[in-house]
Structure 1
Amino acid sequence: MSAMPAETEVTHLKVGADAAARNIAMRIFRAELPASRPALVWLGGYRSDMTGTKALEVERHAHALATDCIRFDYSGHGASGGDFRDGTISRWVEESLAVVDHVVAGRMILVGSSMGAWVALRLIEELRARGQGNRVAGLVLIAPAPDFTAELIEPNLTEAERTSLAERGYFEEPSEYSPEPNVFTRALIEDGRKNRVFKGPIETGCPVHILQGMRDPDVPYTHALKLMEHMPADDIVMTLIRDGDHRLSREEDIVKLKQAISAILAKA
């Protein structure tokens, strides 16, 4: 992996009002010359933040391509304000929309990892509803987890977890990536049903590249295949990585990520 340029400074954007207000932390890289290419927008996964390996490598690639890059943390994540347990897909989509409206003047490529792919798909829905779908020049989705609450969590809940949701409003499970357990709230699960994208055909109107590990223990590769089946009208390339896990953060995975971004840029 290449050497990282000087770290971009953190700036903040206030989203929401009154009790719902929260400060969203952003790192914005601007190319030296006004970029004619679409900006890269990083959309992270559940409990991840903008300082992870893939997020940093996306910005490195933006430097190499001489285009802008925007990274940010959802509320309750990383350097942003807000309580993680208040988080829902609707809330994080609202924040993502606020960030791109505030920061991205031209077109953009959304790079969504895991839950970030779900956010990306919902973000496109919101933009298309405004008549602004052409702002998105392409999608790169890494181990995409759209509808994960309804598709991957709810069907597999144990009786103990169902009881905890009913009585405490959340349940916990051990995390392979952190000493702290994953927390899934009733609000997240109920809101997830309202944000489902598998409710019918998905149309983004832009080229899409999906990267998926076949040894992903969190989001099975069959979920990525299901997503592809729901996108009959889009120009889609899928790269299945036989020995890839959920993170896809190895050097060889990062090479594939950068190739996918470059291929989408070539079509923009």
Structure 2
Amino acid sequence: MNLPVAPEKSTHITVGEGGEARQIALVHRQGRAADSPMLVWLGGYRSDMSGTKALEMERLAGELGLPSLRFDYSGHGVSGGAFRDGTISRWLEEALAVIKAYPARDVILIGSSMGGWIALRALQELRKQSEIAIKGLFLIAPAPDFTHDLIEPALSETERQSLQERGFFEEHSEYSPEPNIFTRDLMEDGFSNRVLTGIIETGCPVHILQGMKDADVPFQHALKLVEFLPADDVVLTLIRDGDHRLSRPQDIERMRAAIIGLI
């Protein structure tokens, strides 16, 4: 039986300067071996680091003696900043800052939903500017380019008009009483951060876990992502009755097994 992860108070780092500065909350746990790969959790849109999968990642790291790192993007969870100011570039900047604040020689990025997009962009940036080696990617219901590929084609005329006139539109959320808010800045910035535009060279093994009953990110989107990863060792696990959250006990066991496989 799994025991609860011991609660740990988050710490903060400052990302950005002047009016762009925001306090990013994170939890870092040391590993037992200095050369162990660090597991890094990258959450989804409007999710936070206290979710089931993030805590299970941390639990697994503790069992294996690995360091782990989870955090909240600005406007999420207990981090500072306004959610409406969020863009892929802004949240990517925060992810990179957090990873570099706790440098490990080897890192395994674990991205859920939008976090899968952030993971792919973080990998691209870290390969260009850092000595940190990405040893594996584990992507859960990944949503790369979701603003362009999933949201924009489905916009109603009312939503398009709201984007143009108000700078945002709202959408009912299945996971919160508060509606999802998508801003014009997010949509435009998402276009400039697209990754499904050519071959993605990760230089590491990739495991994708995707539910076939996912109403938010259709499993066909995961199939599309695989097409852009022709040079890598890619495993795609499709769960016939899986939804977007993939937080059931059987889904968590699949997650744990996949991470162990990457280690």
Query: TM-score range, shorter-chain basis?
Result: over 0.9
Unaligned runs of 5+ in 1: none
CA positional deviation for 1:10: 0.6
Distance 1:255 1:28 in 2: 23
Out of 193, 196, 205, the position equivalent to 1:195 is 193
Q: Which residue of 1 aligns with 2:214?
A: 216
Q: Deviations along 1:195-217, whole A, 9 cap, x unmatched?
A: 00011111110000000000000
Q: Which residue of 1 aligns with 2:90?
A: 91
Q: Which residue of 2 aligns with 1:77?
A: 76
Matches within 5 A, 1:1-268: 2-31=2-31, 33-130=32-129, 132=131, 135-265=133-263
Q: Deviations along 1:190-237, whole A, 9 cap, x unmatched?
A: 000000001111111000000000000000000000000000001101
Give TM-score, length-normalised by structure 2: 0.98
SS class of match (1:46): coil
CA positional deviation for 1:35: 4.0
Percent identity, please. Answer: 62
Query: What residue identity is the alignment partner of 1:3?
Result: L
CA positional deviation for 1:186: 0.2
Distance 1:209 1:2 in 2: 24
| Greater than 3 Å deviation, 4+ residue runs | none
Distance 2:2 2:234 in 1: 28
Distance 1:4 1:67 in 2: 17
Query: What residue identity is the alignment partner of 2:125?
Result: E
How big is the alpha-carbon RMSD for the aligned residues of Structure 1 and Structure 2? 1.0
Unaligned runs of 5+ in 2: none
Q: Which moved more, 1:4-13 or 1:171-180?
A: 4-13
Q: Which moved more, 1:194-203 or 1:122-131?
A: 122-131
Q: Is the 8 A contact 2:37 2:104 kept in 1?
A: no
Distance 1:214 1:10 in 2: 35
Distance 2:169 2:261 in 1: 41
Distance 1:37 1:230 in 2: 29
SS class of match (1:127): helix
SS class of match (1:216): coil
Distance 2:52 2:130 in 1: 34
